[in-house]
């Protein structure tokens, strides 16, 4: 029996680098993306076409997209906040536009500085602007599993928004656990319902490890038939509400687990770890990745001398 | 329907403090144990009756056991390496003796400085010495899910050793993932077989989070009917083969997850977090606990000012 394929998207070049205090040099970004391309990802979130003033960390979006080496079979997705960003991105030849809004009204206002209604209108304009262009469109819904300001989120709001975008012809939706509030039984419930009510939509799950539950949540989602996940090289990508806590699900930890569990991620873990090993120098701090520190489970160590002769 | 009970044992006072570079003052140990006693644990591993020269970090075992305040309903267990240790422990009134050996020959020699055969004999002597004493005996088998020097461990060896101790009348066995090599499908397989072949033995599972899998492994074990777990306050307890990696499963992360999943741990998470918050000062370094940094999932944060008026 062939192994079940799980598709992984690395979001470190956008979601990770955007959150770093130091500016990651453009050539380093390009080199990291190029190396990730060789690891076997289905998709890489390469950058964001937000205003360079709003997010200076990713002010080099055009140069990154023009200079990376595209690997056939890998989709290069970028975050797009508005029609202006869509136009910039189109001129660079992207594969997918990733649009974002929150399920939580408070989080949407805090994070995107507008009401959900305005966000939905704005996303509608981007979707309209991209019609006819040779790019896929993905909508990422933030705070699906809870809001750091509101607390629990009514799942009716999650499904109302999925329905809203499905009506606009969207077939790709990411359900995002923006600040690590998801837990396995909740994940199972929401994913099961999402797949049952929207069989034509390809869902991606995006977990954070803020409270140590990212891995368990990935397995819970797979139980319901979900087969696409975002994760971030090294576990980069912070949570502004939990200083020092882990950020995104760590790609190499997810790959390590899924391969052990008998899934085919298509990813070369050793090659991936070599890319992750470059991060501490680039971001100038220790990174959350456990696998980078400990190695994979069969990393063996020499036995102490002299123990062979024990009687 | 009442919730299923999961029994948790905190091992930080022994397994955690033993691995710390600084000596934890005796009164601090006593105070941490006393506070843990009020949190709702089924069992607390309080100290170790090893030679004070071999493990100076726990050289105050007698004083700790004499001065802690015993809470009715909580079992106080201690690690016992030999008959001399058993005699010392008995004079302090322990509830349970925890005996340890490895399934891996190499790890047993490296860690305990003797062959498995000698260890099994020595444990037999302790079991004999404790017969008639009012204490329970638990055998902890190390490296059940893999050895950092040998790699994979034949499960036939695991079951041979379980059988060996079952024949000696042992009814409590801990299956320990000493260096974080376990993964969920492996946990499921071993636990299922252990419960089927040894229905009279009460198994405890002891996981490490070295590769980010402790939480997923706990859930996998519960799937097979396991209901007892070791975990360590703050995630204390290192792995000498993975510098900087996480150690034991973190108690507050396990409690947080299990309560969300609908289990009854009997533990007061807020009270537990107050104890964990004392650790960084005591051990003089940052601790792995994610929940201590991020708070439980419904820890809400104030929304930024001015967002209420957005149109």
Backbone angles phi, psi at B96, to 5 degrees: -145, 140
Q: Which of A212, A290, A305 to mutate to test the interface with B (most CBs of B within 10 A)?
A: A212
CB atoms within 10 A of CB B113: 14
Tokens 């209108």 found at = A121
Dist. CA A142–CA A175, nearest whole Å: 7
Closest to A211 (Cβ–Cβ): which among B180, B262, B290? B290
What is residue A246's predicted lDDT score, i.e. its pLDDT? 81
Residue B82's pLDDT band, with cuts at 50, 70 and 90, is: very high
CA atoms within 13 A on the CB side of A36: 32
Is residue B55 a contact partner of residue B48, using CB atoms and an 8 Å limit?
yes
Q: In B68-202, where does DSSP find H-type helix?
A: 83-90, 105-112, 116-130, 155-167, 184-197
B239 annotated active-site: yes
Confidence check: pLDDT of B97 > 70: yes
What is residue A94's predicted lDDT score, i.e. its pLDDT? 97
Q: Which residues contact B138 (CB under 8 A, 6 or more apart)?
A: B77, B96, B97, B98, B99, B170, B172, B173, B174, B204
Q: Chain B within 8 Å of A244 (Cβ-Cβ)?
A: yes
Residue B239's pLDDT band, with cuts at 50, 70 and 90, is: low
Q: Across the interface, do B261 and A296 touch by the CB < 8 Å criterion?
A: no
Mean pLDDT rounded to a whole number for chain B = 96
SS3 B195: helix
Residue of chain B whose Cα is closest to the Cα of A261:
B185
Question: In this predicted model, what pLDDT tens digit does every residue of A162-185 receive, in sequence order?
Answer: 999 999 999 999 999 999 999 999
Question: In this predicted model, what pLDDT tens digit does every residue of B14-33 receive, in sequence order?
Answer: 999 999 999 999 999 999 99
Q: How far is residue A137 from each of residues A61, A98, A162, A164, B285, measured CA to CA in Å? A: 18, 6, 14, 14, 45
Dist. CA B101–CA B121, nearest whole Å: 11
Residue B240's pLDDT band, with cuts at 50, 70 and 90, is: low
CA atoms within 13 A on the CB side of B175: 32
- Report the complex ipTM: 0.96
CA proximity to A254, closest of A301, A222, A281: A222
SS3 A151: strand
Closest to A242 (Cβ–Cβ): which among B215, B294, B300? B294
CA proximity to A65, closest of A18, A26, A15, A19: A26
Question: In this predicted model, what pLDDT tens digit does every residue of B68-80 receive, in sequence order?
Answer: 999 999 999 999 9
Residue B235 structure tokens: 């995630």
What is residue B241's predicted lDDT score, i.e. its pLDDT? 65
Q: How far is residue A167 from each of residues A101, A141, B4, measured CA to CA in Å? A: 16, 15, 42
CB atoms within 10 A of CB A10: 31
What is residue A239's predicted lDDT score, i.e. its pLDDT? 66
**How many pairs of residues across A and B have Cβ atoms under 8 Å apart?**
164
Burial-class residue B115 by CB neighbours within 10 Å (0-12, 13-18, 19+): middle
Say what percent of chain B tops pLDDT 90: 92
Dist. CA B159–CA B189, nearest whole Å: 12
Residue of chain A whose Cα is closest to the Cα of B238:
A294
Stretches where chain A sits below pLDDT 50 are none
Confidence check: pLDDT of B118 > 80: yes
The CATH number of the domain covering residues in A7-309: 3.20.20.70
């Amino acid at each position: 029996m062939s192994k079940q394929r799980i598709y992984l998207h690395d979001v470190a070049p956008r979601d990770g680098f955007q959150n770093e205090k130091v500016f990651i040099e453009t050539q380093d970004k390009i080199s990291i993306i190029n190396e990730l391309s060789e690891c076997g990802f289905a998709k890489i979130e390469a950058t964001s076409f937000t205003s360079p003033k709003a997010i200076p960390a990713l002010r080099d979006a055009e140069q990154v997209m023009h200079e990376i080496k595209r690997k056939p079979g890998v989709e290069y997705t970028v975050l797009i906040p508005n029609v202006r960003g869509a136009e910039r991105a189109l001129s660079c030849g992207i594969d997918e536009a990733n649009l974002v809004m929150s399920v939580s009204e408070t989080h949407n206002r805090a994070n995107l500085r507008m009401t959900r209604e305005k966000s939905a209108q704005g996303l509608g304009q981007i979707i309209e602007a991209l019609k006819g262009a040779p790019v896929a469109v993905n909508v990422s819904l933030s705070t699906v599993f809870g809001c750091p300001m509101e607390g629990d989120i009514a799942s009716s709001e999650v499904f109302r928004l999925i329905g809203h975008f499905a009506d606009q012809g969207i077939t790709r939706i990411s359900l995002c656990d923006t600040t690590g509030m998801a837990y396995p039984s909740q994940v199972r419930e929401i994913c099961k319902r999402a797949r049952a009510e929207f069989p034509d939509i390809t869902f991606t799950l995006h977990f954070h490890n803020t409270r140590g539950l990212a891995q368990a949540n990935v397995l819970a989602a797979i139980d319901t038939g979900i087969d696409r996940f975002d994760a971030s090289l090294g576990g980069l990508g912070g949570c502004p509400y939990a200083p020092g806590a882990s950020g995104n699900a760590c790609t190499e930890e997810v790959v390590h687990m899924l391969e052990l569990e008998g899934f085919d991620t298509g990813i070369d873990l050793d090659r991936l770890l070599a890319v992750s090993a470059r991060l501490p120098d680039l971001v100038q701090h220790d990174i959350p990745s456990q696998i980078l520190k400990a190695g994979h489970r069969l990393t063996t160590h020499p036995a102490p001398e002299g123990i062979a002769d024990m009687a």
